[in-house]
């Protein structure tokens, strides 16, 4: 989810390399909104933003990204105490506070999730479904959005192998069947992997497009209920 380092996407073509004012991305360190654009990394948010802008041309769309490579749900994202949980909530609350200060009306429209291999590597696969279900519930509680779409890109099994990887991958798929407004999509066909087991440029862009498609479908189903 963090995305490709610049050495792997320096030759990316328009429109993804250009600042895109239609979509605003929150910059955590600078505490300000800026046009969507890759900086030192290019992640799925770039293609996602372009696809969402095309599908929702009249909407003011804001993205808050928080991603760190190699983190596990059971400890790094542990509810209320994990460093990634705390860091993400700090970023999200900062972004929302800025909108409120500027009197910009908003709604929390959804959350995208690409994580899980570290839980398999660290032999926590058996706990993953319970932990992710609790995390989704907590996110909906934190943002007071009980029907918030939560979209999962199912992780590969490059790092976590065998039974542990299967438990994580099965959990991600299973939650879409047991929890409302949760959806998943596959990434197994997005080859080649580069720089270890990371998605390449084309795969990263495709993940962004699949996030957008899955989100739009899930959000549409939510509104019809």
CB-neighbour burial class of residue 167 (10 A; exposed 0-12, middle 13-18, buried 19+): buried
Separation of alpha carbons 209 and 97, rounded Å: 29
**Residue 104 has what pLDDT?**
97
Write down all domains in the chain, each with its CATH number in brackets: 4-224 (3.40.50.1110)
How is the chain split among helix, strand and coil, in percent rounded to 5? 45, 15, 40
- Sorted by sequence, the CB contacts under 8 Å of residue 165 that are 6+ apart come out as 117, 120, 125, 157
pLDDT by residue (tens digit) across 100-122?
A: 999 999 999 999 999 999 999 99
In the structure, what pLDDT confidence band is assigned to residue 225 with cuts at 50, 70 and 90?
low
Q: What is the C-alpha separation between 84 and 32, in angstroms, rounded?
A: 20
- pLDDT, one tens digit per residue, over 117-170 is 999 999 999 999 999 999 999 999 999 999 999 999 999 998 878 999 999 999
pLDDT in tens, 195-222: 888 898 999 999 999 999 999 999 988 6
């Amino acid at each position: 989810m963090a995305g490709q380092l610049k050495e792997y996407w320096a030759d990316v073509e328009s429109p993804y390399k250009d600042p895109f004012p239609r979509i605003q991305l929150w910059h955590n360190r600078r505490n300000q909104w800026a046009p969507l654009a890759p900086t030192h990394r290019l992640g799925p948010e770039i293609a996602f933003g372009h696809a969402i802008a095309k599908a929702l041309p009249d909407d003011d769309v804001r993205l808050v990204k928080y991603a760190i490579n190699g983190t596990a749900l059971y400890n790094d994202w542990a509810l209320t105490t994990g460093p990634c949980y705390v860091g993400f909530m700090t970023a999200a609350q900062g972004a929302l506070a800025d909108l409120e200060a500027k009197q910009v009306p908003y709604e929390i429209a959804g959350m995208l999730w690409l994580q899980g291999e570290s839980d398999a590597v660290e032999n926590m696969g058996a706990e993953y479904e319970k932990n992710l279900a609790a995390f989704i519930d907590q996110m909906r509680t934190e943002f007071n959005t009980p029907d918030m779409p939560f979209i999962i890109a199912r992780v590969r099994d490059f790092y976590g192998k065998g039974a542990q990887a299967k438990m994580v991958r099965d959990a991600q798929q299973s939650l879409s069947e047991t929890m409302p407004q949760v959806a998943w999509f596959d990434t197994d066909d997005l080859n080649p992997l580069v720089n270890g087991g990371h998605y390449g440029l084309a795969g990263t862009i495709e993940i962004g497009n699949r996030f957008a498609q899955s989100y739009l479908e899930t959000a549409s189903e939510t509104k019809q209920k």
